A and B are shown apart, each in its own frame.
Chain A
Amino acid sequence: KNQVEQSPQSLIILEGKNCTLQCNYTVSPFSNLRWYKQDTGRGPVSLTIMTFSENTKSNGRYTATLDADTKQSSLHITASQLSDSASYICVVSAGDYKLSFGAGTTVTVRA
């Protein structure tokens, strides 16, 4: 069964600090891995997408890594801002149609 596990479930950080979120997956066959940001009550918004051959991708202060051998990914947020408070969801695609979602990590940035 395709599964995506994220850790931690939630975290609180001070504004300006960095943090790293983890994602482990058992999706097969692997197509790509995405990180989404979901604000409360809103739809997910794509941050990064990585295929098998990519091991790092950045989008501003967000940097995602992928280790396809160990089936792990991380999302690093640099110099956090209050607007980074959201749920960050790891999503793995096994093909064209179906995405497998992680439960998300809720990040709270405090001033």
Chain B
Amino acid sequence: EPEVTQTPSHQVTQMGQEVILRCVPISNHLYFYWYRQILGQKVEFLVSFYNNEISEKSEIFDDQFSVERPDGSNFTLKIRSTKLEDSAMYFCASKVVNEQFFGPGTRLTVL
């Protein structure tokens, strides 16, 4: 059964460094999403992406964040200058019609 994959599973970085989180959505899906979940808190929407552009973004998704679909398969989330409070699980999701399928997540730890 096709699934959303994410790499790496765990990323440790120093504050101020740039990180790129990678996702491979399910191949025929057209809508792509990033969410984050700070430890012990609820999942929060970051951004949605359709037709090679951002459809909607939350207030969390500020200028430090960017998304890209550099080729036909990958969907990336870049954080330009990480802060301690960026430490969280980051989930990618994709959908074709109605239901979003989530990846296993990348745990980002900012030291």
- Chain A residues with a Cβ under 8 A of chain B: 32, 34, 36, 41-46, 49, 89, 96-104
Contact = CB atoms under 8 A, between A and B. Distances in A.
Given A42-B105, A97-B48, A98-B48, 12 more contacts: A41-B105, A42-B104, A43-B4, A43-B104, A43-B105, A45-B102, A97-B55, A100-B45, A101-B42, A101-B43, A101-B45, A103-B41
Given A42-B104, A43-B104, A43-B105, A99 B45 contact: yes
Contacts of B103: 43
Contacts of A34: 99
Interface residues of B, number: 23
B44 A101 contact: yes
A41 B105 CA distance: 8
Nearest to B49: A97
Interface of B: 4, 31, 41-45, 48, 55-56, 58, 89, 91, 93, 98-105, 107
Contacts of B43: 44, 89, 101
A97 B43 CA distance: 15
17 contacts: A32-B98, A41-B105, A43-B91, A43-B102, A44-B91, A44-B102, A46-B100, A46-B101, A96-B31, A96-B55, A97-B31, A97-B55, A98-B48, A98-B56, A101-B43, A103-B41, A103-B42
A49 B98 contact: yes
Which 4 pairs of residues, A with B, have the shortest CB-CB distance?
A43-B102, A101-B43, A97-B48, A97-B56
A99 B46 CA distance: 10
Nearest to A43: B102
B65 to A, nearest CB: 16
A15 B31 CA distance: 39
A42 B102 CA distance: 9
A57 to B, nearest CB: 13
Among the interface residues A36, A42, A43, A46, which one has the most CB atoms of the partner chain B within 10 A? A43
